[in-house]
Chain A
Amino acid sequence: MTLTATRFDWVRQLVHRESAIVLAPGKEYLVEARLLPLARRMGLSDVDQLVDAVRSRPRPDETRQIVEALTTNETSWFRDGDPFTGLTSTVLPALQAARGPAERLQIWSAACSSGQEPYTIAMLLEDALPGAASRVTITATDISREMVERTRAGRFTQLEVNRGLPAPMLVRHFQRAGSEWEVAPGLRRMVTARECNLAAPLPRMGPFDVVYLRNVLIYFDLPTKQAILRRVRELMRPDGWLFLGAAETTLGVDDSWSRVVLGRTSAYRPLKGA
């Protein structure tokens, strides 16, 4: 059983609009194979039903999950490395100067996917900050229960650890677990994973010193983008730092942030009194 042409076209247009990736004709079977698990999780029996459900009542979460299922084979560690360089070169020294040695640093990886981002942050901090394990809490959230469970497990396939993870970090922070690799227990203890829908009122968390909210806003319309940024700001410390995806900005969306250039990337900080 294959996807009808109309439904396949709808998926192609969606993926092209959101990711600029072109799905060639003839890839119907690939769309089927990648989307079937998502359809099943939603309690639907096949991909046709999934497409019909999302077409008739568009929901950004499901749209994002469809796009991610079709575009991300493996997420890279240090994806777009600059926001991580900025963390250790600028943000961490600034926070260390501003906070007492006993204060915990709280970091939020919103939309953590399978866990590469929160564990990248954990590895960097463990290497850069003595005693990081007892001084840093990383909250990793995702809309998808499956992704939250994967993040919690901290297990990655051979192909996943091959993607942009420096070999010295692999051997220092991972052990083999069968055909996969498992993050060291110390790093896993730094990371708390939970489900969270950014487009709905947020649970009580934080206050966060640093927030990574990357490649999420692009899926939402302007009012929702504004609402998300407002709710995120409410969970941040007044002198906190926000990192967005390379193609995202607060400019023209929410004017209560100031943009700080950090090398080849930018961070955003809450404007005082805004």
Chain B
Amino acid sequence: MTVRALVIDDSRAMRRIVTGILEGLGYETRQAGHGQEALDVLHEGWTPDLCTIDWNMPVMDGLQFVNAVRANPAWRAVTLMMVTSESEHGQIVRALAAGAHEYVIKPFTADAIRDKLALLGLLPQEVAL
């Protein structure tokens, strides 16, 4: 069983890092540079199991993207994980209230991503069980 992730970040370095970690865990990945580009991928019919979402991006930011995904019942099964340097208590509350499931604060290590995916039941070997 393939597990798919859409990595959304306006920094290509950050997209490469997150993509590298997820592919190392067995994910099939695609990338988007902002929220609108990510919505385009979803509308294409490529539905991921997981989106990792930066907050501050041009065109459409991460919070707007979370709201857009949550407004469409077809994407209810998609797990949304913020990966952002926004790190105030209130910002994390806002993202969770909008419908994000998890929140990783930048800077993070590969272990931090893996730990969060384990919490979400989204480590590919466990998903396959």
Contacts and interface: CB of A to CB of B under 8 A. Distances in A.
A81 B118 CA distance: 9
Nearest to A174: B89
Contact of A163 (B92, B103, B111): B111
Contacts of B102: 166-167
A168 B109 CA distance: 20
Nearest to A167: B103
Nearest to A176: B89
Given A78-B119, A81-B118, A176-B88, A162 B93 contact: no
Interface in A147-198: 158-159, 161-164, 166-168, 170-171, 174-176
A158 B96 contact: no
Band of interface residues on A: 10 to 19
Given A81-B118, A159-B107, A161-B105, A168 B112 contact: no
A180 to B, nearest CB: 11
Interface residues of B, number: 21
Contact of A171 (B96, B101, B116): B96
B96 A167 contact: yes
Nearest to A79: B115
Contacts of A166: 102, 119
Nearest to A168: B96
Contacts of A78: 119
Nearest to A169: B119
Contacts of B87: 158
Contacts of A159: 107-109, 112
B104 A162 contact: yes
A167 B115 contact: no
Nearest to A161: B105
A76 interface: yes
Contacts of B118: 81, 164
B111 A158 contact: no
Of A73, A164, A167, most buried by chain B (CB within 10 Å of CB) is A167
Interface of A: 73-74, 76, 78, 81, 158-159, 161-164, 166-168, 170-171, 174-176
Given A167-B96, A167-B102, A167-B103, 14 more contacts: A73-B109, A74-B109, A81-B118, A81-B119, A159-B109, A159-B112, A162-B104, A162-B105, A162-B109, A162-B112, A164-B118, A166-B102, A167-B101, A168-B96
19 contacts: A76-B111, A76-B115, A78-B119, A158-B87, A158-B105, A159-B107, A159-B112, A162-B104, A162-B105, A164-B116, A167-B92, A167-B96, A167-B102, A167-B103, A170-B92, A170-B103, A171-B93, A171-B96, A176-B89
